């Protein structure tokens, strides 16, 4: 590995690393607009100019690989002047409409202006006018005046989505980003260009004008939209005066994880945050009548507990691959303590979509692999989801606990007629749920800590960003409440306790702790995918 010196500090980084990445390893930032580690090097913004000993001219850090003995200076007067010059050029025709720009607060131009320029504009001739607020796709709005022409979005559609919707048109000072003739920015990853845009030229039509970024709390978590488990940041509102409707979750955007999603995520996952606030089941219900959670659990104890006790073989848990490892583990433990053998995730009932060969997976559940690892997948001696429901419809079960599955109204009606205690644990209200004798409100993933195992076998942390809505409770907590009601009290384990319990229960995960998962997750030993 080559050794080099950046601003007097000697570092050692792998050969082939460019100077921007090399500086990052020592905690220094070389300012840049066009460079992005997930895209090819364009080298056009000229912001990352640095001085390299023995080089006659300033060099762009993004296109300069490290070399043995290289001496890099990023703080000299020459570099400072070049940066200030580039900033002045970039801001020359920029509209400076920060007060009405969504990007204000997370804009490279603002940050770098404070760091490297801090001068008034010297332009006296009037700024170039370009088109503002042009919708270029379902999710993205383009403001050509704010654009710094870094070409990140164009390179994204060329290199990552490979859909070629965007291009640079015109030349010189009239140059602008635009749609290729006859195209609309409608690829499955279109939202990524908003994250990529270092300024406010590309904004998210969903997030636009909803909140200032400084009112948002960032939670590093994973997307639950499919079995990929893309690493994301969930932004939730912290400003009580900034409410848009009842929404608490404002946006999702990807965070880097080279082993999973690189730097990207799909639009389907990106806008899945809406489900956190919309159509939620917030309170318990008895045959459709809203009641306090306590009353519902009391009823459960009255009806279901004796039935389970009398005939555990006529009781069943239908779990879901939407649940965290912790919840699945808690339910599995509960079923065992009750002597209920029929416990399964209903693999054949789960939502399935279309895979695209890149990030989007066909399996729309975040934890199918986790359920499989726990031995909750379809197996000999246990009825699969559909078979279980058919059997219950035929009157073979007295107690059926359905966790996180949305069943057809007719089917629920038929089940309600035959099953003496039909119990539903649901995060979202849905048609026909009055058929559940007891319905308990369940928290969504964003409202609880836990872990998911993605389709590669990578265990990743899901973090709590919000308090559970209404009276809803996380799956693992409901398992504990259920245990209490059904006469088999469970330990009041926290998600962290449950994680360790879960990990120890599986040979391939025994080495995992929350610390080893960190922000990037870790492969369970049984998986073929390296950590």
Q: Find how far residue 22's CA is from the centre of its chain.
A: 28
The H or E element containing residue 11 is strand 9-12
Q: Does 63 bind other proteins (CB under 8 A)?
A: yes
Q: Does 268 bind other proteins (CB under 8 A)?
A: no
Applying CB under 8 A, among 41, 184, 387, 500 the residue interacting with other proteins is: 41
Instruction: List the one residue out of 529, 413, 405, 377 whose CA is nearest residue 460.
Output: 529
Q: Per CB under 8 A, which region of 82-90, 295-303, 342-350, 402-410 contacts other proteins?
A: 82-90
Q: Per CB under 8 A, which region of 35-43, 221-229, 316-324, 387-395 contacts other proteins?
A: 35-43
Please say whether the beta carbons of 407 and 369 come within 8 A: no
Backbone phi, psi, residue 442, to 5°: -110, 145
Give the whole-angstrom CA distance, residue 7 versus residue 316: 66
Give the whole-angstrom CA distance, residue 78 versus residue 410: 75
Nearer to other proteins, 128 or 290 (CB): 128
Nearer to other proteins, 171 or 354 (CB): 171
Q: Which residues sit opposite 462 in a β-bridge?
A: 450
Size, binding site for other proteins by CB under 8 A? 35
Mapping DSSP onto H, E and C, the string for 302-359 reads HHHHHHHHHCHHHEEEECCCCCCHHHHHHHHHHHHHHCCCEEECCHHHCCECCCCCCC
Applying CB under 8 A, among 58, 72, 402, 443 the residue interacting with other proteins is: 58
Q: Does 188 bind other proteins (CB under 8 A)?
A: no
Nearer to other proteins, 128 or 396 (CB): 128
Q: Does 81 bind other proteins (CB under 8 A)?
A: yes
Q: Per CB under 8 A, which region of 121-129, 313-321, 384-392, 431-439 contacts other proteins?
A: 121-129
- For 445-494, where are the alpha helices, taking DSSP H only? 475-485
Applying CB under 8 A, among 122, 181, 515, 530 the residue interacting with other proteins is: 122
Q: Does 201 bind other proteins (CB under 8 A)?
A: no
Nearer to other proteins, 20 or 512 (CB): 20
- Tokens 């449950």, residue located: 498
Nearer to other proteins, 174 or 492 (CB): 174
Instruction: List the one residue out of 301, 502, 292 whose CA is nearest residue 399.
Output: 301
Q: Does 90 bind other proteins (CB under 8 A)?
A: yes
Q: Does 111 bind other proteins (CB under 8 A)?
A: no
Give the whole-angstrom CA distance, residue 521 versus residue 255: 13
The H or E element containing residue 1 is none
Please say whether the beta carbons of 213 and 106 come within 8 A: yes
Q: Per CB under 8 A, which region of 86-94, 194-202, 238-246, 394-402 contacts other proteins?
A: 86-94
Q: Does 107 bind other proteins (CB under 8 A)?
A: no
Applying CB under 8 A, among 131, 134, 173, 278 the residue interacting with other proteins is: 173
Residue numbers at the binding site for other proteins (CB under 8 A):
41-47, 49, 57-58, 63, 81-82, 85-86, 88-90, 92-93, 122-125, 128, 148-149, 167-168, 170-175
């Amino acid at each position: 590995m080559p050794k080099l010196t950046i601003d007097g500090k000697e570092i050692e980084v792998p050969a082939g690393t460019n100077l921007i990445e090399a500086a990052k390893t020592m905690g220094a930032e070389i300012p840049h607009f066009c460079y992005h580690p997930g895209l090819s090097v364009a080298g056009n913004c000229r912001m990352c100019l640095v001085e390299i000993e023995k080089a006659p001219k300033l060099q762009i850090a993004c296109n300069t690989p490290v070399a043995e003995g290289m001496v890099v200076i990023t703080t000299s007067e020459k570099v400072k002047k070049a940066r200030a010059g580039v900033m002045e050029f970039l801001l020359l025709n920029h509209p400076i409409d920060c007060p009405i720009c969504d990007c204000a607060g997370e804009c490279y131009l603002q940050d770098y202006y404070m760091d490297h320029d801090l001068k008034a504009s010297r332009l006296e001739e009037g700024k170039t006018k370009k088109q503002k607020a042009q919708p270029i796709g379902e999710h993205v709005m383009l403001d050509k005046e704010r654009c710094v022409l870094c070409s990140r979005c164009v390179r994204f559609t060329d290199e990552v989505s490979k859909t070629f919707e965007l291009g640079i048109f015109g030349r010189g000072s009239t140059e602008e980003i635009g749609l290729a003739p006859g195209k609309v920015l409608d690829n499955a990853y279109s939202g990524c260009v908003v994250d990529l845009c270092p300024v406010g030229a590309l904004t998210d039509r969903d997030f636009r004008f909803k909140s200032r970024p400084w009112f948002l709390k960032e939670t590093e978590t994973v997307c639950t939209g499919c079995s990929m488990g893309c690493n994301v940041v969930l932004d939730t509102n912290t400003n009580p005066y900034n409410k848009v409707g009842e929404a608490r979750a404002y946006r999702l955007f990807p965070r880097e994880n080279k082993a999973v999603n690189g730097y990207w995520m799909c639009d389907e996952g990106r806008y899945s945050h809406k489900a956190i606030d919309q159509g939620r089941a917030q309170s318990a219900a008895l045959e459709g009548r809203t009641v306090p959670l306590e009353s519902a659990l009391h009823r459960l104890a009255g009806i279901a507990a004796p039935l389970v006790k009398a005939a555990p073989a006529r009781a069943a848990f239908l779990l879901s691959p939407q649940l965290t490892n912790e919840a699945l583990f808690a339910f599995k433990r509960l079923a065992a303590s009750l002597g209920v053998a029929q416990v399964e995730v209903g693999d054949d009932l789960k939502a399935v979509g279309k895979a695209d060969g890149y990030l989007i997976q066909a399996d729309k559940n975040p934890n199918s692999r986790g359920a499989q690892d726990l031995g909750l997948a379809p197996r000999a001696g246990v009825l699969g989801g559909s078979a279980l429901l058919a059997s219950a419809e035929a009157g073979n079960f007295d107690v059926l606990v359905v966790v996180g599955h949305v069943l057809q109204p007719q089917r629920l009606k038929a089940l309600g007629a035959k099953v003496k205690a039909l119990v539903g644990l649901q995060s979202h209200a849905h048609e026909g749920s009055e058929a559940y004798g007891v319905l308990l409100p369940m928290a969504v993933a964003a409202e609880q800590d836990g872990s998911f195992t993605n389709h590669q076998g990578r265990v990743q942390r899901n973090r709590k960003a919000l308090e559970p809505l209404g009276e809803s409770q996380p799956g693992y907590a409901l398992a504990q409440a259920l245990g209490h009601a059904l006469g088999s009290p469970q330990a009041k384990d926290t998600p962290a306790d449950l994680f360790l319990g879960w990990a120890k229960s599986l040979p391939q995960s025994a080495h995992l702790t929350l610390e080893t998962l960190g922000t990037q997750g870790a492969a369970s030993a049984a998986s073929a995918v390296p950590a």
